[in-house]
Amino acid sequence: MSRAGLRIGIDLGGTKIAAYALDDADRTITVLRQPTPRFDYDATLKAIAEMVAAIEAQTGSRGSIGVGMPGSLSPKTGRVRNANSIWLNDKPFGADLQKLLGREIRFANDANCFALSEARDGAGQGCRCVFAVILGTGCGAGLVIDGKLLEGRHGIAGEWGHTPLPWAEPPEYPGPDCWCGRKGCVETWLSGPGFAADYARTSGRALRTQEIIQAARQGELAALKTLERYCDRLARALAMVIDIVDPDVIVLGGGLSDVAEIYDLTPPRISRHIFSDYADVIIRPPRHGADSGGRGAARLWDD
């Protein structure tokens, strides 16, 4: 399914930009990274253009370009929407970058790029239906069927993080405020900040995510209970997806995907929520880790 020649993938994050170059055998041959020019739209465009130029100078080839970005381009207006990198919002980012680089560019939400990478040659390789989730600063997801991204009529397929937490219990309703303007979104519970906030509410102490995990491993009751609640909420949120698309595999990404306990504690909690007489749910960590976003962006040109 690969396109011959050099493919460049840009992973545009809120704090860093990473540029990947893939050859026609899907090998990563060059990676460049630099800080994102935060709150500076024009400097962000310039930084991407300079990274593309640097890769093409190194490889001696002109490549196709794919960009994984926060939020997405509206199919109606062509402008950026729903990006937590707020300086991009309502900007004609796609048109501006294509004009600057003088060629067609393909764009997708960063979670979609992660999903595409893991479905093609990652933890979901060989599976027909792959649901891939990012559990990081926010919560995003992407759905790949038969090797192709499903983006939907409005271009929002996979916006799992901004659906309500299913089967909310009384203490969970209406839930924390979400930046999107609603309450109780999955992201407010299952993101890294959501995990830390839950611990702070119940323990009265403020710790970072990895500190809470370490405390749980050392037997601290409040941290253990926080991790158990997290896995129960993750199970409910994934069960809703399983009932709708019934994926062959679920791949987790983002910082919390490194927590080994999640893969043991979550699957047994899913069975009572799905509309099936048995639960054979496969949840895996990513094969390409933090590189999946950029690799997936490069693969937006795979046919």
Q: What pLDDT score was predicted for residue 298?
A: 97
pTM: 0.94
**In angstroms, how far is CA 138 from the centroid of its own chain?**
8
**How large is the average pLDDT for residues 170-199?**
96
User: Alpha-carbon distance 101 to 89, whole Å?
Assistant: 21
Q: What pLDDT score was predicted for residue 303?
A: 74
**How large is the average pLDDT for residues 34-50?**
97
Q: What pLDDT score was predicted for residue 191?
A: 96
Q: What is the dihedral of CA 58, 3, 28, 192, to 10 degrees?
A: 120
**How large is the average pLDDT for residues 244-256?**
97
**In angstroms, how far is CA 43 from the centroid of its own chain?**
24
pLDDT at 41 over 60: yes
First to last CA, the chain: 6
pLDDT band at 5 (very low <50, low <70, confident <90, very high): confident
The pLDDT tens digits for 60-107 are: 999 999 999 999 999 999 999 999 899 999 999 999 999 999 999 999
pLDDT at 2 over 70: no
pLDDT at 1 over 50: no
The pLDDT tens digits for 123-169 are: 999 999 999 999 999 999 999 999 999 999 999 999 999 999 999 99
Q: What domains are there in the chain, each with its CATH number?
A: 7-113 (3.30.420.40), 123-286 (3.30.420.40)
- Quote the DSSP letter at residue 60: T
Three-class SS of residue 94?
helix
Q: What pLDDT score was predicted for residue 258?
A: 97
Strand order through the sheet with 249-253: 148-149, 139-145, 129-135, 249-253, 283-284
pLDDT band at 36 (very low <50, low <70, confident <90, very high): very high
Three-class SS of residue 274?
coil
Residues above pLDDT 90, as percent of the chain:
95
pLDDT at 4 over 90: no
